[in-house]
């Protein structure tokens, strides 16, 4: 067997790692990758720095007056530039212009059929377009963005939140309820969405075709009161609220809005039973929430009656989920963490 006695020089040549030995170990040279890091003080004159970052006021990204939407979308960073532009338009309350540019962008995107463009970015343009349209009451444009948004596909609680917002503006409360349900399947401790679900139930009380039956009308309100109460419990149970002024203010605003919605629904409910007094239900929040519990009694027959009266399969499935979380079997869970509480359903109704 042949024995190879490589010299240090041969080792350096045969393996790249050892070639580091060719560098000087002198302290005057910063050559060693394995040397201890030395503290250095670098002195420089700030006035000599010749760098001017792009700033928002320059509108370096805005080519709305120079390019057609189709040509703009074709640029390497075109869709990102459009996103920056419509964001600025939206936050400066130029809603009509933002809506128009978003619509042109969609047409430009489709005309070019650019498969390499990021759908996530187009989704953001659609969201801004829809929000802008809703701000100016342009429901036709809001529907336009909604239809295109559905074609983006995907599944995410954020998508459900947005779709529910648009559907509510379009008066499609049954469909909005389905989006709330999908959202809460993933994020069941979101107090704000439980509140939105309660508002949607009140809207169904006011507008849905099956509300011509008084007993059915009342069940929508009972569920709404329970949804508001669930939202209240989640807020109260949360121990992670910060004590900074911003956090305290945000919590107070959320509680005040929730209380206002609960009072409104409670007064509607009381008026159905001739319990409505002059001035309605007002006053201490504890009294309001106690009244919500008292006036929202709900048994299995209520759930069965409501499910039977639903005129579409989708609405029936959404109501089944809501009743399962807020109905008679859910009473003992209403003040508990949803993740720890036993899941209930009303599949036997």
Distance of alpha carbon 216 from alpha carbon 220, whole angstroms: 7
Beta strands in the chain (DSSP E): none
> Using CB atoms within 10 A of its CB, is residue 134 exposed (0-12), middle (13-18) or buried (19+)?
buried
* Domain boundaries along the sequence of the chain: 66-154, 189-349
pTM for this prediction: 0.74
The Cα–Cα gap between 253 and 195 comes to 13
Give dist(CA 324, CA 148) in Å, integer: 33
Other Cβ atoms closer than 10 A to 330: 23
What number of other Cβ atoms are within 10 A of residue 333's Cβ?
Answer: 18
Rounded Cα distance between 142 and 145, Å, is 5
Q: What does each C-alpha distance from 229 to 86, 223, 242, 258, 264 come to in angstroms?
A: 38, 10, 23, 9, 13
**CA distance readout (Å), 235 to 124, 160, 196, 264, 330:** 30, 22, 14, 19, 18
Q: Are 308 and 320 in contact (CB under 8 A)?
A: no
**How crowded is residue 9: how many other Cβ atoms within 10 Å of its Cβ?**
10
Under DSSP, the state recorded for 156 is -
What pLDDT, on the 0 to 100 scale, is given for residue 43?
73
DSSP 79-128: HHHHHHHHHHHHHTT-HHHHHHHHHHHHHHHHHHT-TTS-HHHHHHHHHH
**Which residues of the chain have a pLDDT value below 50?**
11-28, 31-34, 116-117, 331-349
* CA gap 183, 34 in Å, rounded: 52
pLDDT at 241: 75
Residues in the chain: 349
Give the three-state DSSP class for 60: coil
């Amino acid at each position: 067997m042949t024995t190879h006695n490589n010299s240090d020089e041969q080792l350096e040549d045969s393996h790249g790692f050892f070639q580091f030995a060719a560098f000087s170990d002198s302290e005057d040279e910063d050559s060693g990758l394995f040397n201890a890091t030395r503290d250095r003080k670098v002195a420089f004159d700030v006035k000599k720095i010749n760098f001017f970052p792009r700033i928002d006021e320059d509108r370096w990204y805005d080519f709305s007056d120079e390019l057609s939407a189709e040509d703009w979308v074709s640029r390497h960073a075109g869709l990102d530039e459009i996103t920056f532009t419509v964001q600025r338009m939206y936050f400066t309350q130029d809603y009509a212009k933002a809506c128009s540019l978003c619509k042109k962008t969609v047409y430009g995107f489709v005309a070019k059929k650019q498969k390499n463009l990021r759908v996530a970015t187009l989704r953001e343009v659609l969201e801004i377009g829809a929000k802008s349209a809703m701000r100016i009451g342009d429901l036709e444009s809001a529907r336009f963005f909604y239809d295109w948004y559905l074609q983006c596909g995907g599944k995410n609680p954020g998508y459900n939140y947005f779709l529910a917002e648009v559907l509510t503006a379009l008066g499609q409360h049954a469909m909005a309820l389905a989006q709330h349900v999908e959202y809460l399947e993933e994020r069941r401790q979101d107090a704000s969405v439980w509140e939105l679900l309660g508002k949607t139930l009140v809207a169904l009380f006011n507008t849905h075709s099956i509300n011509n039956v008084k007993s059915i009308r009342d069940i929508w309100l009972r569920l709404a009161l329970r949804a508001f109460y669930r939202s209240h419990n989640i807020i109260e149970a949360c121990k992670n609220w910060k004590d900074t002024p911003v956090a305290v203010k945000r919590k107070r605003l959320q509680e005040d809005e929730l209380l206002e919605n609960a009072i409104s629904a409670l007064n509607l409910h009381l008026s159905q039973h001739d319990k409505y007094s002059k001035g309605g239900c007002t006053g201490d929040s504890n009294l309001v929430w106690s009244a919500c519990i008292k006036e929202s009694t709900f048994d299995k027959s209520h759930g069965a009656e409501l499910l039977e009266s639903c005129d579409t399969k989708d609405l029936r499935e959404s109501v089944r989920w809501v009743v399962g979380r807020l109905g008679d079997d859910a009473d003992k869970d209403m003040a508990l963490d949803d993740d720890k509480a036993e899941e209930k359903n009303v599949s036997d109704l």
